[in-house]
A and B are shown apart, each in its own frame.
Chain A
């Protein structure tokens, strides 16, 4: 402990003169730039620059890695991705797996976000009650959030494989074993289930905090008016919870659209392309195939990023409108 304190002291003394000088040069308010500089530097180098490089990839073709060696092709990659003989038949598209993955991702995000936020809300409401050992229960629900996606996927893969414990239970009960991960419908169900299993605790905690921030006198007033619990929920609890719900919905949607690790380990995108989501398509196109189509991968990722930004903005606008509506009432 002593060593740590002394190290901190050295560190402090190291940088103080730098900032004193900086203060004299930049003046007080612009000193903020100096503080934000390291973060911006790392971010610029390792996030912003790669995004720009991605733009270069998206507008070039060929299979070379170095951007400058690639032939310029303009919007050809985007054209390839969007080329379809009949827009109502996914099969007829040139990159049918791309379209399938978008469709899968949309379906997944919608179902998973609604279910997960609903379950988180329910759990938060339960945890908000007068129960014994609330801290313990909170930790129970939060624990899976800490596990890495690979660990989560392996645990469930082990449970669901054809000789796993789920099928053992079925056989013991006299039923036939089910191909949990080999059937398109079930595989999709399990991707939703496992991702909710792994992430619900995080959102539960945020909603719980929101619930606990609602002043108690609100409830007392409602009780005085002999309001039924359902009414209290609808008129008092939910409206006051809206800010937290917005945060949860936005974060959950962003995460759902970006899902990759746990699904990749759990199903590999299979069976066929039933659980192939958009990020996996990008990974496969750019990394996993022998002939690396970096351009296509970059074009697809740009489209994903734009789509995600549009989705989030739309979501924020919608929720702002509903909040305004609520306030007006």
Chain B
């Protein structure tokens, strides 16, 4: 494929030229698992968005007569201890998991990347201060930190998003800091500095497009982490409170009736598993896509 001329020096704004993009997309399409993961992730997001239209029943309506009924024609996945339709609750539960998962990772990415890039670019005391704070936050395992912050902030939707964003921020900070250190000494950055470009312009136009790939991979993979954290918190009882259906809540309620109606826990857990799986395979696919070795170059 050498007849296509490639830009050697990343141009202002675009870090890859068109032919490279075509090759990346082709590489992604070749990876069948990644495509499946991507399609699955999109489908799950659509389910969450269109939950009111898709769910056969109202997830909060109780019907004592059909408590703990197994799978049937009326209730495809059965009912729970209050007679609520499990399938509808799972469909509505996707909203909580996805909102928390996606928004918290996005917030963490914005905050963490900003912190990491500032720390990496300016160095010195700023870098020490920021990266020390990051080190301290990462001294606690994810879940422990999330539990502690939840204890302070409380268990409603917005605060859960903030909590998990706080857990994700140091990860992104470390990642972008490392990437920035690698790129800082590149010729095009030095050239930009030499012609007197101001710092924000250098960061936005030259540095950021080149670390964006890594950020995207990490972001996609860490959506799975965020969703799992939310489910963990919900299972402990620190998540969004009942009667709002969330997958973690449902597993917890299902454990009480595990012997009689294992389906509740099994299917809500399966939803979490499939969602995380989708984002993991998608993230792996994106990672392979941006790796030039695997594009056949």
A binds B: no
Which positions in A face B, CB cutoff 8 Å?
none
